[in-house]
């Protein structure tokens, strides 16, 4: 009796949605197989007058239907459980097909070629190691059919003869037995070729899909970056004129009040207000500059050579954090960078570590250089904080991705660090360590834009 799968199951990549789709298709195919087996059993019994073990075959078909009902509950499960269910289904179907063939003629049953269908489907929707295991298991089931004695109920009348059907009244000749063994050998060779080539094709398709996904994420990041840069430039353009006017007016007010010798309380309040206005204007300009820098475009900031050790000590000292320490390998080490952008990157890395750490957990910043085909500068930030899970680790440097509470960050700090590092010949690496997280920010010392 055949398990007639006549619809191609789509490949199942690692994505949960596609995996669920493949699983649902597999369940539908099994329902189709149950219907086909039932109809074929009725047709053989009524029209071909072949004596079959109806009860045993019916039990096998019912078992397949019941197992499909039970496995349907896995469609809402996670990817790991769905993968397990797919493996169980494939091995179960091969076993059920072997039982059906045994009770309907054994190796002489012309539907033994359906074993190949399971191998093809398994190669499409299972990992390579399971595809090879299924192929070996299927060849073993086919081989066992030669060892088992023919079932006495699978007989036909002398006036009926089904191709390759074995009858107790017609013993197998030596030539026929050799022919059947040759069929098994051809089946084994075909199975090996199918699994090998389909697995290779699947690997190529998965690599291609990963490349497409990577390019799509890069395009989305570029679009977000362009939107942020446009926003920063537009804000700077629209606000620069009124801010400049306010700054001039505040300066004139301050100058006038300073020239007046009368020092009453009202005049002092006005003087304080003008100083406050000028401070707020400066803060607005700094925010606009930061927005542009976060987009990877420092506003008018020049690249200069400065001492890294002195700059890092200044940054660390400004935090007044007892658990924050600095280690510098070479006190004379310099770098050619926009200094404000450098400070913003380092502060962002330190702020992330501080947010991840509890009281008493240490943060260590180290600066060193290594010489290879070019001299590289490495700034490492190690913390003993809560660390990151795999998903957060993979997306940490994406723009606008943040695990912080609303209002505590836009998710651009690590993206800025990565953008600046790559612009200056380096990179940003985020690693899980035994306790906490390590961020490695690298730059090429001799890089020129």
- Within this chain, do residues 325 and 426 fall inside the same structural domain, yes or no? yes
Give the C-alpha separation, 126 to 84, whole Å: 10
pLDDT digits (tens, 9 = 90+) for 35-68: 888 888 888 777 776 777 888 888 888 888 888 8
Q: Is residue 6 part of a domain?
A: no
pLDDT digits (tens, 9 = 90+) for 95-121: 998 998 888 888 877 788 888 888 888
Inter-residue contact 47 to 2 (CB < 8 Å): no
Q: Is residue 311 part of a domain?
A: yes
Least confident of 19-28, 326-335, 429-438: 19-28
pLDDT exceeds 90 at position 126: no
Given 257, 275, 294, the domain boundary residue is 294
Inter-residue contact 12 to 24 (CB < 8 Å): no
User: How much is the pLDDT for 380?
Assistant: 93
User: How much is the pLDDT for 137?
Assistant: 93
Give the pLDDT band (50/70/90) at residue 440.
very high
User: How much is the pLDDT for 5?
Assistant: 33
Inter-residue contact 107 to 124 (CB < 8 Å): no
Q: Which of 165-179, 364-378, 392-406 has the highest mean pLDDT?
A: 364-378
Q: Which residue has the higher pLDDT, 244 or 337?
A: 337
User: How many structural domains comprise the chain?
Assistant: 3
pLDDT digits (tens, 9 = 90+) for 259-296: 655 556 666 767 777 777 777 777 676 666 655 555 55
Inter-residue contact 369 to 330 (CB < 8 Å): yes
pLDDT exceeds 90 at position 379: yes
Query: What sign does the dihedral 441-442-446-449 (CA atoms) show?
Result: negative
DSSP β-ladder status, 334-337 and 304-307: antiparallel
Q: Which of 147-161, 255-269, 406-420 has the highest mean pLDDT?
A: 406-420
Residue from 139, 137, 128, 96 nearest 11 by CA: 128
Range of the domain at 363: 304-444
- Within this chain, do residues 114 and 67 fall inside the same structural domain, yes or no? yes
Q: What is the pTM of this model?
A: 0.47
Give the C-alpha separation, 373 to 212, whole Å: 32
- Within this chain, do residues 228 and 268 fall inside the same structural domain, yes or no? yes
User: How much is the pLDDT for 381?
Assistant: 92
Given 131, 158, 185, the domain boundary residue is 158
- Within this chain, do residues 275 and 369 fall inside the same structural domain, yes or no? no
Q: Which residue has the higher pLDDT, 103 or 22?
A: 103
- Within this chain, do residues 126 and 22 fall inside the same structural domain, yes or no? yes
pLDDT digits (tens, 9 = 90+) for 211-268: 888 888 777 767 666 666 666 666 666 666 667 777 777 777 777 767 655 556 666 7
Q: Is residue 216 part of a domain?
A: no
DSSP string of 254-291, one letter each residue: HHHHHH-----HHHHHHHHHHHHHHHHHHHHHHHHHHH
User: How much is the pLDDT for 366?
Assistant: 92
Give the pLDDT band (50/70/90) at residue 311.
very high
Q: Which of 283-287, 366-370, 414-418 has the highest mean pLDDT?
A: 366-370
């Amino acid at each position: 009796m055949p398990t007639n799968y006549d619809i191609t199951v789509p490949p199942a990549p690692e994505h949960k949605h596609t995996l669920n789709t493949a699983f649902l298709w597999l369940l539908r195919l099994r329902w189709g197989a149950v219907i086909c087996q039932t109809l074929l059993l009725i047709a053989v019994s009524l029209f071909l007058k072949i004596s079959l073990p109806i009860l045993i075959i019916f039990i096998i078909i019912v078992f397949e239907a019941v197992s499909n009902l039970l496995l349907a509950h896995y469609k809402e499960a996670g990817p790991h459980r769905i993968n397990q269910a797919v493996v169980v289904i494939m091995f179960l179907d091969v076993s059920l097909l072997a039982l059906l063939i045994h009770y309907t003629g054994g190796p002489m049953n012309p539907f033994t070629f359906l074993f190949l269908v399971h191998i093809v489907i398994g190669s499409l929707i299972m990992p390579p190691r399971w595809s090879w295991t299924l192929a070996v298991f299927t060849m073993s089931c086919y081989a066992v059919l030669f060892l088992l004695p023919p079932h006495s109920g699978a007989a036909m009348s002398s006036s009926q003869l089904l191709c390759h059907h074995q009858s107790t009244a017609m013993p197998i000749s030596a030539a026929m037995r050799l022919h059947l063994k040759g069929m098994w050998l051809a089946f084994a060779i075909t199975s090996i070729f199918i699994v090998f080539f389909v697995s290779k094709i699947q690997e190529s398709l998965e690599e291609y899909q990963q490349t497409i996904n990577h390019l799509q994420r890069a395009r989305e990041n570029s679009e977000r970056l362009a939107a942020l840069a446009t926003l920063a430039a537009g804000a700077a353009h629209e606000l620069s004129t009124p801010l400049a006017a306010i700054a001039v007016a505040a300066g004139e007010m301050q100058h006038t009040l300073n020239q007046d010798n009368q020092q009453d309380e009202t005049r002092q309040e006005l003087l304080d207000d003008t100083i406050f206005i000028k401070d707020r204007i400066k803060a607005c300009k700094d925010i606009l500059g930061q927005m542009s820098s976060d987009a990877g475009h420092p506003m008018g900031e020049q690249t200069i050579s400065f001492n890294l050790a002195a700059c890092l000590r200044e940054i660390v000292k400004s935090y007044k954090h007892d658990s924050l320490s600095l280690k510098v390998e070479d006190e004379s080490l310099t770098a050619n960078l926009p200094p404000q952008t450098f400070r913003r990157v380092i502060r962002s890395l330190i702020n992330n570590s501080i947010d991840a750490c509890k009281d008493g957990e240490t943060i260590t910043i180290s600066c060193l250089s290594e010489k290879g085909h070019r001299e590289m500068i490495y700034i490492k930030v190690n913390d003993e904080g809560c660390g990151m899970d795999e998903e957060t680790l993979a997306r940490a440097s994406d723009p606008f991705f943040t695990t912080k509470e609303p209002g505590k960050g836009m998710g651009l700090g690590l993206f800025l660090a990565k953008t600046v590092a790559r612009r200056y010949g380096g990179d940003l690496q985020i690693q899980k360590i035994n306790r906490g997280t390590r961020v490695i920010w690298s730059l090429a010392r001799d890089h020129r834009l």
